């Protein structure tokens, strides 16, 4: 049953799902690294990106790639706006106040969509060519799958270069390592946080577009589960470090696909439960994740 082709197919699916998790997890891990905030509103920016993409796609906006780039840019600014209005007034407050605020922001965004466009799921249909299947050596993938992986890798490479080489990028890594010391060195924390929110939200919007295209549907609560799972991915890789988010995203993508693909079909309904059981396991045996520095304090 598990022929090489079948295994290769599962690997393709895993890379595909993992790419999307990685894109989402990067934004979560950047914000957590800087502010120790689990940003529950992150998944909702993904949803907004998908809706904006749907708006442009159904208006037959061309070229197609712009229906992806425009939402990315727009949602990047939405991310900045959310940080400015909701999180910045709480700088220096106990972590839990920001956590509650992010839950509130998430609820406000979701229900604003329910109020304006209703909770009715909508079809997200791309032009026919994009979903065309290619078969190489018995393994099939669509143009969209190739786009997902290619684009994700390109975006992540660009982000890595940015964080490694630019002044703001270096400042960001410094602030993630030690916020207070970075501030004493004259780093403008507000600016760094703003850039982190912009980049993270941009990647979330890209993931939202790709997610909607893959599953051909959008609805106001679609961001909840991917956002939560991406956080699990970030924890697996080591929260706070960007390469960790990427690694965790791909590992989680593989784990989830393999769970469904290589176990008897009766188990496949438990796919989401498996992801969170994995979180508990990771927190039990390696709470700092794979690439995380072992700084986590324990009781």
Partner 1 sequence: MSRAMDGVRRVDINGAARNLLVGCAYVALLATLLWLAQSTLNNYYLRILAVIGINIILTVSLNLTNGFAGDFSLGIAAFMSIGAYTAALLSLPVAMKTASFPGLPAWLQATSIPFLPATIAGGVMAAIAAVIVGLPVLRLRGHYLAVATLGLMVIVRVVANNWQDVTRGARGINGIPPLSNIWWTFGWAVLTIYVVWMVVHSPYGRAMIAIREDWLAAQARGVNVLRTRLLAFVLSAFFAGVAGALYAHLITAITPSSFSFVITFNIVVMLVVGGMGSITGSVIGAVLLTLLPEGLRQVETALAVGGTPLYGLSQIIIALLAALVMIFRRQGLFGGREIRLPGMVER
Query: What does the binding site for partner 1 look like in residue numbers (CB under 8 A)?
Result: 36, 38, 86, 89-90, 93-101, 103-105, 107-108, 110-115, 118-119, 224-225, 228, 231-232, 235, 269-273, 275-277, 279-281, 283-284, 287, 296-299
- Do the Cβ atoms of 32 and 239 come closer than 8 Å? yes
Helices 143-165 & 167-177 angle (0-180, nearest 10): 80
Task: Specify the residue, 216 or 268, whose C-beta has the smaller distance to partner 1.
Answer: 268
Task: Specify the residue, 36 or 134, whose C-beta has the smaller distance to partner 1.
Answer: 36
- Please list the residues that pair with 95 across neighbouring strands: none
Q: Which residue has the tokens 């998944």?
A: 43
Smallest distance from partner 1 to CB 235, Å: 7
Task: Specify the residue, 61 or 276, whose C-beta has the smaller distance to partner 1.
Answer: 276
Residue 221 DSSP code:
T
Task: Specify the residue, 188 or 272, whose C-beta has the smaller distance to partner 1.
Answer: 272
Smallest distance from partner 1 to CB 154, Å: 29
Residue 85 DSSP code:
I
- CA neighbor of 93 nearest in space, from 36, 158, 32: 36
Distances in Å between the Cα of 92 and the Cα atoms of 89, 98, 193, 288 are 9, 10, 13, 24
Task: Specify the residue, 188 or 296, whose C-beta has the smaller distance to partner 1.
Answer: 296
Task: Specify the residue, 99 or 170, whose C-beta has the smaller distance to partner 1.
Answer: 99
Smallest distance from partner 1 to CB 284, Å: 4
Smallest distance from partner 1 to CB 241, Å: 15
Query: Phi, psi at residue 34, to the nearest 5°?
Result: -85, -45
Task: Specify the residue, 62 or 178, whose C-beta has the smaller distance to partner 1.
Answer: 178
Smallest distance from partner 1 to CB 243, Å: 20
Cis peptide before 63 (omega within 30 of 0): yes
Q: Helix, strand, or coil here: 104?
A: helix
Smallest distance from partner 1 to CB 86, Å: 6
Handedness of CA 190, 92, 90, 40 (dihedral sign): positive
Q: Which residue has the tokens 């906006």?
A: 61
Smallest distance from partner 1 to CB 7, Å: 26
Please, what is the end-to-end C-alpha distance for the chain in angstroms?
47
């Amino acid at each position: 049953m598990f022929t090489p082709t079948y295994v290769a197919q599962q690997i393709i699916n895993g890379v595909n799902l993992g790419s999307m998790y990685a894109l989402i997890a990067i934004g979560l891990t950047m914000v957590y690294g800087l502010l120790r905030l689990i940003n529950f509103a992150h998944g909702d920016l993904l949803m907004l990106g998908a809706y904006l993409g749907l708006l442009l796609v159904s208006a037959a906006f061309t070229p197609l790639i712009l229906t992806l780039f425009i939402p990315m840019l727009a949602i990047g600014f939405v991310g900045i706006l959310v940080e400015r209005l909701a999180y910045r007034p709480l700088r220096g407050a106990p972590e839990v106040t920001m956590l509650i605020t992010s839950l509130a922001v998430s609820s406000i965004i979701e229900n604003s969509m329910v109020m304006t466009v209703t909770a009715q799921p909508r079809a997200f249909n791309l032009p026919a060519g994009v979903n065309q299947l290619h078969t190489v050596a018995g393994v099939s993938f669509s143009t969209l799958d190739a786009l997902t992986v290619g684009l994700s890798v390109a975006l992540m490479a660009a982000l890595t270069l940015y964080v490694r080489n630019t002044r703001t990028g270096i400042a960001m890594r410094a602030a993630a390592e030690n916020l207070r010391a970075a501030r004493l060195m004259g780093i403008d924390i507000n600016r760094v946080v703003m850039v982190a929110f912009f980049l993270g939200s941009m990647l979330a919007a890209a993931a939202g577009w790709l997610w909607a295209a893959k599953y051909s549907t959008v609805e106001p609560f679609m961001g909840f589960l991917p956002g939560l799972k991406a956080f699990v991915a970030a924890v697996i890789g080591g929260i706070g470090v960007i390469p960790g988010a990427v690694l965790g995203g791909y590992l989680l993508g593989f784990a989830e696909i393999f769970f469904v693909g290589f176990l008897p079909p009766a188990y496949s309904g438990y796919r989401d439960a498996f992801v969170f059981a994995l979180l508990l396991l990771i927190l039990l045996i390696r709470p700092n994740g794979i690439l995380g520095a072992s700084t986590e304090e324990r009781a």
